[in-house]
Structure 1
Amino acid sequence: MIQTIYKVQAAAKLLETTVDSVRRYVDESGIDVARQANGPKTRQFTIDNIFDIAAWRQANKSKLKFKQRGIATVYAPKGGVGKTTLTANMACVFALMGLRTLVIDLDFQANLTLSFGYDSEVTDEEATELDIPEDRVIKYHFGHLVPGWPGGRMPLREVIKMPFGPSGPHLIPSDLTLDRLDTILTYDALEGKKSDLKIAALIAEGLSGKNPDFDLSSYDVILFDAAPAKNRMTRGALLASDYVVAPVSLERYSTKAVSYLASVLQDMRDDVGRSPEMVMIGNFHLPNRLRVYGQVSKLSTEYPGALLNIMVHRSEEFPKTLSEDDEQPPLVLARPSGSAAEQLHKVSCELLQKMGVI
């Protein structure tokens, strides 16, 4: 991923504060921000710098207190509704607010992993030939953290990636071999084991902080990016979550997907006695269309309180983050002054309020 450099004005926009405050935070924190080599000695902020400032501000200056941990699965029964784009951008916004954020890519197609700058198909040999740093190679994924994985369980520190440094969102990446986890969960079910609850039990273990090789207790928000398929990994993530965040395209047939998701959640309640609470985000639509108003009214009536008030409009500002030719970071980092980034910030804040995190 190309290293993006920001001026102080852009840093202030990302942190939703003033230029003077950013300068003061840098001076007080001692965070090393490089200055322009030639011409005016203006500060040049990296993405890592900005996340470091966000974390320092939360620890030392912010009056915003986080009430509880939020665990959610971002899931849509069909593709093409912006699920992965939303996940990547919300994770970045959470970290910009000072929340310690973990995102888990549970789709073996690894689109979320790619959106954070990691090509899961690059091997060690290819990385050497292309002069790609070793830490950009994906060797392990969520499956390697699960007890019973062939070859043994790996410690979290060997699996986790930090695309924007320790203070940015952390990533448990994916690659094609993650599909084996679904096979393992299926075999467990055939043997009478409670495979549906295996991921929930794993997350509970991590949150307890008792296993130093799998300690999730420091995270404020954990987001699963689940595959569109209704497989055992997705079901396991849903059962490990308190909320399911469902992007909804307010175009034709969107309510059919929501109805299907509602039936999936009802099946969970019937089977195991619980399911995550559904939260819907109206996504990538054109405003001021009669059909949009009709869909919003219908969804609000059928699923009271589930649809967030803030919606994300369709915009030309969204970069092609999944294109091999595009190495930009998620939109909120790539174009912080745009209207789409502003909407994503507002959606992220409303979601945190809905989840009781803030």
Structure 2
Amino acid sequence: MTFKPYKVQAVAQLLGATTDSVRRMVDESGIKVARQDSGTKTRMFSVENIFDLARFSATKKTKKKRGERKQVVATVYAPNGGVGKTTLSGNFSSCFSLRGLKTLTIDLDFQAKLTSSLGYDSELTLEEAAEIGKPPSQLVEYHFGNLMPNWPLGRRTLDEVVKMPYGENGPHLIPADLTLDRLDTMLTTEAPARRMADMAISKLLRDGHAKKDSHFDISNYDIVLFDAPSSKNRITRGALLASDYVICPVSMEKYSTKALSYLSSVLSEMHNQFGRSPELIIVGNFLDSARGPVMTQLSMIMQTYKQSLLDYWIRHSEDFAKTLDNEADVPLVLSKPGCSASSDLQNCAAALLTRMQVTNA
């Protein structure tokens, strides 16, 4: 994916720092930043530079030993569509990495919208890509199913599957495509017991975090973030059971009491059956305080789900709306770091990290 170079002012906005501190970080880290071909020799940062600086800053601040870090698993999920779920997944994963956190984002939607939004083509074959001159690195050969033990088409390692759209220190992606449907079929029909199928993803993550699975070593990640489809299939159920938190976006433009009520009942059923369920975090989206019905809906959510509602929400913005209409757009926080919607996204991401008790590095 190609980005226009960033000037130091935009980098400071993305990192929540001053321009002077950004310049000091560059000097201290030794990270190579290109300079503009002009008399001023202005530094022009690549997107990889920015995530490298974020990681450098976070590593410098912390004195924790790596083995003491807590890994958090969360699923972005809403029972209804049109709430900005996938857009928030891409932006939150970028925001987490901009705070120096090692973030693994897993696309579980067969439609692969998150995968597409991060610059990868899930539809083309290698032969078709060669005909139009698209590099193989932009294609999707493997997905989350290929990482599961006993995958019928041959298991792959995380290194073979993972994508790094913004470099080593940006968010990492396990992409999706239409053939991910096979995983749902496998979990539904081939598992010897329903409970084992439901807990298969939990076991995969648990073994991966403990370094017991050489194919899926995720021990170096601070956050694992699933982007789950609205349909509650076996994959989504497994992701929810594997998660510490479920982040549920709610559209303030067309709030559905049924959607939140349904999700609450699903979580209650999980807890009754398995003795655990993810903690619910509600993120209000498309908030327009000038519209009376919107504020009424927000009040209703606060009355019923006060403990679950995040203290920050995302206001309605034309900049934000455009990302929903164009799958090829990059995360808004990276494409327009100075706009109000990007500020809302950054604030929400910070509030999420606080709620999930995640600390840098």
Q: Which residue of 1 aligns with 2:341?
A: 340
Structure 2 distance, partners of 1:27, 1:345, is 26
SS in 1 for 2:87: helix
Residues 215-294 of structure 1 mapped to structure 2, 5 A cutoff:
215-294=217-296
CA distance in 2, matches of 1:270, 1:164: 41
In the alignment, which of 188, 192, 212 is matched to residue 210 of structure 1? 212
Point out where structure 1 has 5 or more consecutive residues left out of the alignment: none
SS at match of 2:206: helix
TM-score normalised per structure 2: 0.94
Whole-angstrom distance in 2 between the partners of 1:141 and 1:338: 33
8 Å contact kept, 2:75–2:245? yes
What is the Cα deviation at residue 292 of structure 1? 2.5
Q: Relative to structure 2, which stretch is displaced further, 63-72 or 213-222?
A: 63-72
1:258-308 CA deviation, whole Å, 9 max, x = no partner?
Answer: 011111111212222211111000011312333223222222222231001
Q: Secondary structure at the match of 2:319?
A: coil
Query: RMSD across aligned C-alpha pairs, in angstroms?
Result: 2.0
- Partner residue, 2:33: 33
Does 2:129 correspond to 1:136? no
Deviation at 1:150, TM superposition (A): 1.3
Using the alignment, how far apart are the partners of 2:193 and 2:169 within structure 1?
A: 42
Q: Which residue of structure 1 lines up, in the alignment, with residue 166 of structure 2?
A: 164
Counterpart for residue 49 of structure 1: 49
Matches within 5 A, 1:13-28: 13-28=13-28
> Which has the larger displacement, 118-127 or 13-22?
118-127
Question: Residue 104 of structure 1 aligns to which amino acid in structure 2?
Answer: I
Shift of 1:253: 4.3
For residue 37 of structure 1, what is the amino acid of its counterpart?
Answer: D
Task: Specify the alignment match of 1:3 in structure 2.
Answer: 3
| Letter aligned with residue 136 of structure 1 | Q
Q: Could you say what secondary structure the match of 2:176 adopts?
A: coil
CA distance in 1, matches of 2:160, 2:166: 17
- By how many angstroms is 1:254 displaced? 1.9
Unaligned runs of 5+ in 2: none
Report if aligned partners of 1:199, 1:236 keep a CA contact under 8 Å in 2: yes
Q: TM-score, normalised by structure 1?
A: 0.95
What letter corresponds to residue 40 of structure 1 in structure 2?
Answer: T
How many equivalent residue pairs?
357
Q: Aligned AA for 1:51?
A: F
Structure 1 residues 64 and 247: CA distance shift in structure 2, 3 A: farther
- CA 1:197–1:104 in structure 2 vs 1: closer, same or farther (change >3 Å)? same
**Equivalents in 1 of 2:322, 2:302: separation in Å?**
31
Distance in 1 (CA, whole Å) between partners of 2:295 and 2:69 is 34
Are the aligned partners of 1:315 and 1:340 in contact in 2 as well (CA < 8 Å)? yes
226-235 vs 118-127, which moves further: 118-127
**What displacement does 1:193 show?**
5.8
